[in-house]
Structure 1
Amino acid sequence: MVGKVGITKVDSKGRVVIPKDVRRRLNIKPGEEFLVTEIDGDTIVLRRFNVKKMLEKLVRNSREVNLEELEAETEEEGNRVAKELYRL
Structure 2
Amino acid sequence: MATVDSKGRIVLPQEVRERLGMTPGTEVEILEEDGKAVVEPEDDPERILERMERLVEETASERGETTPIDGGDPIAQKHRDAVRRGAEKDSDE
Q: TM-score, normalised by structure 2?
A: 0.43
Q: TM-score, normalised by structure 1?
A: 0.45
Bigger-Rg structure (1/2): 1
Answer 1 or 2: which has greater helix percent. Answer: 2
